[in-house]
Structure 1
Amino acid sequence: MGFPATVREVTVVLGASGGIGWVLRQCWPGMLSAEAQTRWQARRPQADAGLQEDWVILDPLQDPDGLMQALEGADQVLCLAGVVPGRGTDLADNTHLALAAIEAAAQAADRSGRDEGAARVFLASSAAVYGAGSGLLREEEPVRPTHAYGQAKRDMELQALARGQELGVPVCALRIGNIAGLDAILGGWRPGFSLDCFPNGQSPRRSYIGVRTLAQVLAALLRTPRLPPIVNLAQPGTIDMGDLLRAAGREFALQPASERAIPEVAFDLTLLQKALSQKDMPATADAACLAREWAVLEPDFHALHLEGSERP
């Protein structure tokens, strides 16, 4: 398996069968330049894969040679591959997959003798690394994850950034806020759903981003020549989860928040704002806009799932 290195702006998306990958496959056509080429990786064929020549089917942890070949000629790698709690998987695979991407990028550059050096690797990290941190959460401040998933993502960041520096591979970890529709609130809503309610009458507030806005910002970041090693990714402001469900027309009940519940997770977006042009910086989050972005994609998302394919 080999790919030509002559096409400009080649992006390889690892873990393209996941939720973010599915969103990018719906939204990126028309967003990326005509010169851009995207290769999508999954461990098994996808029902909605479209042009099969754009896909690479392999297990990154079991086929390092295949992964290296898939990255030949790539300008950037968007590593969305990872694991989440509750599915009988090893959370340490978040680190293993990130390291596999970085090492494959270095090997592909060595093999092809690219003058530009190794492809830049973007990693999908999470707000979970911040734990119960208060105030505006900044990338450069110490973090204290409060559960295993947040710790696993923090371990991934630390080991991946160190390995990238060692191998000369540029690495940027994107701490992505709640994605409206791929989250546990709007995306996880079911009849009888309940939200925590704090003494001030509010439900939890979080930094959010809409699905189409996420695709636009990721496309812009891929075009950005220089980025810090860690960048918060969300729309400005925070969203009350109750307001989001109301905007989407979802009924829910309120329950008293436990002592361990976190009232607010709010990103400082200074680094994102510095990295993006004014045109590319997303607008302040609005519950109605977030709900509308998801409403456009939601029917196809659920239809694909009901057809029995691997859930994105």
Structure 2
Amino acid sequence: MTAPFSQTGPLILGGSGRLGRALRRLADDGHWAQGRNALWHGRRGDYAWDMRDTPPPLPRAVHGIVVLAGVTAGTPDALAANADLARAALRLAARDGLGPVLLMSSAAVYGRRAGACRENDAAPAGAYGAAKLEMERAIAHEIERLGPAAPRACCLRLANVAGSDQLFGAMGDGMVTLDRFADGHGPRRAYIGPLTLARGLSALLAAPALPAILNLAQPGTVAMEALLDAAGAEWRWRPAPQAALPETRLDTARLAAIAGAIAPATAPGLLAEARLAGWSRA
């Protein structure tokens, strides 16, 4: 079921999760034009579908699929559902002739890798990263199995999303404790603001070709203490444990070649986008 790109939006699978709610807030408030035409999936959404079951017919035309649905914590068996959900999305796309399919992987697949992490690298250090890497492999196998009916698909190794990640959640819970490394600073992470993410998704949905894997982040890194200070949060230091990771940085050259230049992440900019998408410390 297809329609001209200018007249419709994507199907958002997993639209009721934290990231989905942030994107929908941007769409409903008029900040994400394509999102206003999106079909939002959930158990009680515009498109109600238990992704373990056969998908019902789509109620209207869509352009592409964005797969936010996923499992972020739990046992290895629970995390393995990420691959199942991805396969379900691809089968829906193949059945209805949809594409492209943008599936959310994670920067966690890079583990403790130092320097700018590039798409041909992967060395997960934890169960979540391992599950997302297995999801990427499952997608490749499913596309091969589907053959000529397979949709175009791209796994997006997503950076921390301002307003939807653990740090922003912790700010609303009270005092935040931050690891301090030997250089006197806290963790530095790759980030993307929710509005920048929404616009990036639109650019990727419109792209004539996509790689199988793509980093999705704003250039550079942001210090977590800078985010805490910009938000006016209460926080304190603790010595960083030996296993703590000082920095995660993603190489965004491939993304820029497809979606155009993206502004580097800054603490004030990320806070502004998070608030625009509905985040607050209260």
TM-score w.r.t. the length of structure 1 is: 0.81
8 Å contact 1:220–1:276 — kept in the other structure? yes
Residues 1:201 and 2:172 are matched in the alignment: no
- Deviation track 1:15-45 (CA, whole Å, cap 9, x = no partner) reads 00012211221223453359x8311100135
Residues 1:78 and 2:66 are matched in the alignment: yes
Structure 1 pair 267/72, CA: closer, same or farther in 2 (3 Å)? Answer: same
Structure 1 pair 7/273, CA: closer, same or farther in 2 (3 Å)? Answer: closer
Residues 1:169 and 2:137 are matched in the alignment: no
Residue 152 of structure 1, aligned match among 110, 131, 134: 131
Structure 1: 5+ residue stretches without partners? 46-54, 110-117, 304-312
Cα distance in 1 between the residues matched to 2:131 and 2:208: 28
Equivalent residue number for residue 96 of structure 1: 84
8 Å contact 2:76–2:131 — kept in the other structure? no
3-state SS of the aligned residue for 1:199?
A: coil
Equivalent residue number for residue 134 of structure 1: 114
Cα distance in 2 between the residues matched to 1:71 and 1:105: 14
Cα distance in 2 between the residues matched to 1:273 and 1:5: 27
Equivalent residue number for residue 31 of structure 1: 32
Q: Structure 1 residue 131: deviation in Å?
A: 0.5
Residues 1:274 and 2:262 are matched in the alignment: no
Residue 95 of structure 2, aligned match among 97, 107, 127: 107
Residues 1:183 and 2:160 are matched in the alignment: no
Structure 2: 5+ residue stretches without partners? none
Structure 1 pair 296/120, CA: closer, same or farther in 2 (3 Å)? Answer: closer
Letter in 2 for 1:96: D
Equivalent residue number for residue 296 of structure 1: 276
Letter in 1 for 2:163: G
TM-score w.r.t. the length of structure 2 is: 0.89
Query: In percent, how many aligned pairs have the same letter?
Result: 37
Q: Structure 1 residue 216: deviation in Å?
A: 1.6
Q: Structure 1 residue 6: deviation in Å?
A: 4.6
Structure 1 pair 11/136, CA: closer, same or farther in 2 (3 Å)? Answer: same
8 Å contact 1:32–1:219 — kept in the other structure? no
More helix by share: 2
Letter in 2 for 1:23: A
